[in-house]
């Protein structure tokens, strides 16, 4: 193949690999490329330059380093990610995963084409990429609704998945070598083995996701039970205190009557104010017409009382809410946990959190406001945290994943030292 042919081959070859990596990043890490004109132009120029370099390719191991540098540059251009360490580790995993997958499919295609005496390298590569892209799109389709569980898989599981893939590659290679030595009747067997190994590789991923889903559901069950238990204990305590007050109210009235007879009106006023404050404490219970959400809000009301944070609640929730309680718990808990963490750093009148609920025939809306200290760097409703801005960035991603399950939207605003999250959910 001449120089121009090599250049075109590597341009198409690396271009398809970039598309594969973008699909892997979307599927496994829920990271979409920032496809602005500027980024696309820089990415294209980088692809042209490295394809030109690869046209002189030899068997030197230096080209393996060039391969990683090329994809690192492409990923850095296409993704606006400030944590380069995480970006590099994700890119490294994606490259190893794709190379294992490409190698398995490539060997299977070579074996299949060998039975028909087809030895064209370009056709073999194109068939390989077509099968790999179809495989990745099918995997993406299967885990689309479970992507939030995929993020909970540990690094150990990700690494183990690569080892399983490498073992599958070795097994498939051995089987195909044995099959090639047999007659053409072994062609069907080799195809079945290849498809079976690819299915097994994808099923391991789906089983891992399902296992993480069960763990996550168990965690939410425990969290919900804890919230309910705290709420019931608080209601029981409040009921006991109310009974005590009722038991003593005659004594309070007698004392007020004595103070009035003695014309100690200032003491009467002070005493009544004390009683009113006590009654207000007993009446501290939030209700927005949804028992499950009430339990969560009253649980956080107790937490905020202990921290001397004012909790302001406005609006109502529909009684017949079609949002799964686990998702409601995830959204509300993360929002309030983040808000408490931010407000707890403040003093005086700034220690407050405001939550507003409203709904119509189709949508449920939830807004959370609170003051914050420091600076927040927000890009595309994502908080880019640094050493001074850790308050809100941690739980927002979990909220976003739950919101997307209900075709909802999330918007983050910061103005005059007030942080606000606006959420809309389709109540369906």
Whole-angstrom distance, CA of residue 192 vs CA of residue 194 = 5
The beta-strand segments (E) located in 280-417 are 310-315, 352-359, 363-371, 377-379, 382-384, 409-415
Q: In the structure, what pLDDT confidence band is assigned to residue 392 with cuts at 50, 70 and 90?
A: very low
Query: Do the beta carbons of residue 404 and residue 412 sit within 8 Å?
Result: no
Top-ranked range on mean pLDDT: pick from 17-31, 204-218, 368-382: 17-31
pLDDT cut 70: percent of the chain above it: 79
pLDDT for residue 234: 66
pLDDT for residue 58: 56
Give phi and psi for 334, each to the nearest 5: -65, -40
Tokens 């060039």, residue located: 66
pLDDT for residue 33: 81
C-alpha distances (whole Å) from 216 to each of 31, 145, 148 are 22, 15, 10
Query: Do the beta carbons of residue 344 and residue 307 sit within 8 Å?
Result: yes
Residue 283 token pair: 């009446």
Element (H, E) at 249: helix 187-261
How many whole angstroms from its chain centre is CA 361?
A: 28
Query: pLDDT, tens digit, for every residue of 122-142?
Result: 888 888 888 888 888 888 877
* Region 271-276 average pLDDT: 74
Whole-angstrom distance, CA of residue 82 vs CA of residue 427 = 35
With 50 as the cut, is the pLDDT of residue 388 above it?
no
Residue 173 token pair: 């290679």
With 80 as the cut, is the pLDDT of residue 322 above it?
yes
* Region 292-310 average pLDDT: 85
Top-ranked range on mean pLDDT: pick from 88-97, 174-183, 192-201, 251-260: 88-97
Q: Which residues pair with 382 in a beta bridge?
A: 379
Query: Do the beta carbons of residue 124 and residue 106 sit within 8 Å?
Result: yes
* Region 310-329 average pLDDT: 86
With 90 as the cut, is the pLDDT of residue 367 above it?
yes
pLDDT for residue 149: 59
Query: pLDDT, tens digit, for every residue of 289-298?
Result: 887 888 888 8
Tell me the pTM: 0.57
Whole-angstrom distance, CA of residue 300 vs CA of residue 368 = 13
**Long-range Cβ pairs for the range 108-117 (8 Å, 24+):** 108/172, 108/176, 108/190, 108/191, 108/194, 111/176, 111/179, 111/180, 111/190, 111/194, 112/187, 112/190, 112/191, 114/180, 115/184, 115/187
Task: Round the average pLDDT of the chain to a whole number and report it.
Answer: 78
Q: Which residues pair with 384 in a beta bridge?
A: 377
């Amino acid at each position: 193949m001449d120089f121009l042919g090599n250049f075109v081959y590597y341009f198409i070859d690396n271009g398809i690999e970039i598309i594969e990596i973008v699909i892997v990043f979307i599927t496994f890490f829920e990271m979409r490329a920032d496809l602005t004109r500027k980024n696309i132009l820089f990415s294209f120029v980088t692809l042209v330059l490295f394809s030109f370099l690869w046209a002189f390719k030899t068997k030197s191991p230096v080209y393996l380093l060039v391969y990683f540098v090329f994809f690192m540059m492409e990923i850095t251009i296409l993704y606006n990610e400030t944590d380069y360490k995480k970006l590099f580790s994700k890119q490294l995993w994606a490259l190893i995963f794709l190379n294992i997958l490409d190698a398995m499919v490539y060997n299977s295609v070579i074996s299949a084409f060998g039975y028909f005496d087809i030895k064209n390298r370009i056709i073999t590569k194109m068939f390989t990429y077509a099968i790999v892209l179809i495989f990745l799109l099918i995997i993406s389709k299967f885990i689309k609704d479970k992507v939030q569980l995929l993020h909970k898989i540990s690094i150990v599981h990700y690494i183990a998945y690569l080892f399983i893939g490498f073992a599958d590659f070795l097994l498939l290679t051995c089987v195909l070598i044995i099959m090639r030595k047999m007659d053409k009747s072994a062609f069907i067997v080799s195809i079945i083995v290849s498809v079976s190994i690819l299915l097994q590789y994808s099923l391991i991923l789906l089983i891992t996701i399902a296992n993480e889903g069960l763990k996550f559901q168990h965690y939410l069950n425990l969290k919900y039970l804890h919230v309910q238990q705290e709420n019931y204990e608080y209601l029981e305590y409040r009921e006991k205190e109310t009974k005590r007050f009722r038991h003593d109210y005659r004594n309070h009235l007698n004392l007020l009557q004595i103070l009035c007879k003695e014309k100690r009106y200032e003491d009467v006023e002070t005493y009544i104010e004390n009683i009113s404050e006590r009654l207000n404490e007993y009446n501290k219970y939030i209700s927005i017409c949804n028992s499950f959400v009430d339990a969560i809000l009253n649980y956080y009301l107790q937490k905020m009382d202990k921290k001397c944070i004012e909790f302001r609640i406005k609006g109502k929730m529909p009684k017949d809410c079609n949002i799964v309680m686990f998702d409601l718990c995830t959204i509300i808990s993360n929002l309030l946990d983040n808000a408490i963490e931010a407000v707890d750093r403040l003093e005086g009148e700034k220690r407050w959190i405001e939550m507003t609920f409203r709904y119509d025939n189709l949508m449920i809306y939830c807004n959370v406001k609170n003051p914050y200290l420091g600076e927040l760097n927000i890009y595309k409703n994502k908080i880019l945290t640094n050493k001074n801005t850790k308050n809100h960035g941690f739980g927002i991603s979990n909220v976003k994943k739950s919101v997307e399950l209900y075709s909802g939207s999330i918007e983050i605003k910061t103005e005059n030292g007030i942080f606000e999250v606006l959420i809309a959910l389709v109540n369906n």
